[in-house]
């Protein structure tokens, strides 16, 4: 049975992943067992487990403004930590799957393909792109630019004039397992729609909100991605 190490297993997506039954043997190391900022201890853990794959989820995400307030923490966890993991995967020839974000795209016109130019919309996205830079150097890797959120939708309001292609965590997981042996970059998301329209399907109580031009919260108006590459891969898998 092939082994997969999941970093960041205590996060929202990691917790959902723990409930998923797969044909792989999954390992969810604690921070004490595998601390992405402690190279030597992480090295010993990987050497002991000898995984075939490593799915890198660990890092700093929300609240989004923490990346403005605590840039050292953002740099350490999302850039340096990811660099350490990349070096370790390279050393032990482990396939690395890195979870990035659709926010690395400019967020203006939408429908961004994997080959489009990048311009992160906030410090969080810059930190994730910093992680991507390290992962790119290692050829046996896959970068997933994902638009996802937890279910149910956690906010009481959702933007009507902001487009994305959110998927719930539960819907991303089966896609992940179909992509483990792919390399390069793949966009993952659902149909392009307003955040309000997406949230309303599961939460009828969600209220409308509008993103204003002078509202400086680092939110793009349209960060939707082209899913053409993903659909071709999944069609071949089915």
Q: For 104-153, how does the pLDDT look when each residue is reduced to its tens digit (9 = 90+)? A: 999 999 999 999 999 998 999 999 999 999 999 999 999 999 999 999 88
CA separation, residue 180 to residues 113, 114, 164, 196, 211 (Å):
20, 18, 24, 32, 36
pLDDT band at 154 (very low <50, low <70, confident <90, very high): confident
- As to burial, measured by CB atoms within 10 angstroms (0-12 exposed, 13-18 middle, 19+ buried), residue 188 is buried
Specify the CATH architecture of the domain 3-151+166-189: 3-Layer(aba) Sandwich (3.40)
CA separation, residue 86 to residues 78, 82, 97, 131, 237 (Å):
12, 6, 10, 9, 27
**What is the length of the chain?**
238
Its pTM stands at 0.96
Nearest in space to 197 (alpha carbons), one of 222, 165, 173: 165
Which pLDDT value is given to residue 65? 87
Q: For 209-221, how does the pLDDT look when each residue is reduced to its tens digit (9 = 90+)? A: 999 876 667 789 9
Q: For 160-197, how does the pLDDT look when each residue is reduced to its tens digit (9 = 90+)? A: 999 999 999 999 999 999 999 999 999 999 999 999 99
Q: Using only C-alpha atoms, what is the Rg of the chain?
A: 18
Please state, rounded to an integer, the average pLDDT across all residues of the chain.
95
């Amino acid at each position: 049975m092939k082994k997969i190490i999941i970093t960041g297993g205590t996060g929202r997506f990691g917790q959902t992943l723990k409930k998923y039954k797969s044909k792989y043997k999954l390992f969810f190391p604690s921070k004490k067992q595998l601390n992405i900022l402690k190279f030597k201890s992480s090295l010993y853990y990987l050497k002991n487990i000898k995984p075939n794959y490593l799915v890198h989820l660990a890092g700093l995400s929300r609240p989004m403004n923490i990346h403005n307030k605590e840039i050292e923490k953002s740099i350490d966890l999302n850039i340096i930590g990811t660099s350490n993991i990349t070096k370790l995967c390279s050393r032990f020839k482990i396939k690395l799957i890195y979870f990035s974000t659709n926010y690395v795209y400019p967020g203006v016109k939408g429908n961004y393909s994997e080959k489009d130019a990048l311009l992160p919309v906030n410090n969080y996205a810059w930190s994730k792109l910093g992680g991507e830079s390290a992962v790119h150097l290692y050829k046996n890797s896959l970068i997933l630019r994902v638009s996802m959120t937890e279910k149910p939708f956690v906010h009481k309001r959702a933007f009507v004039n902001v487009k994305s292609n959110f998927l719930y965590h539960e819907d991303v997981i089966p896609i992940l397992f179909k992509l483990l042996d792919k390399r390069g970059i793949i966009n993952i998301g659902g149909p392009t729609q307003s955040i309000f329209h997406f949230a309303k399907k599961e939460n009828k109580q969600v209220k409308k909100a509008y993103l204003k031009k002078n509202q400086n919260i680092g939110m793009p108006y349209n960060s939707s991605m082209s899913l053409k590459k993903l659909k071709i891969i999944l069609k071949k898998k089915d």
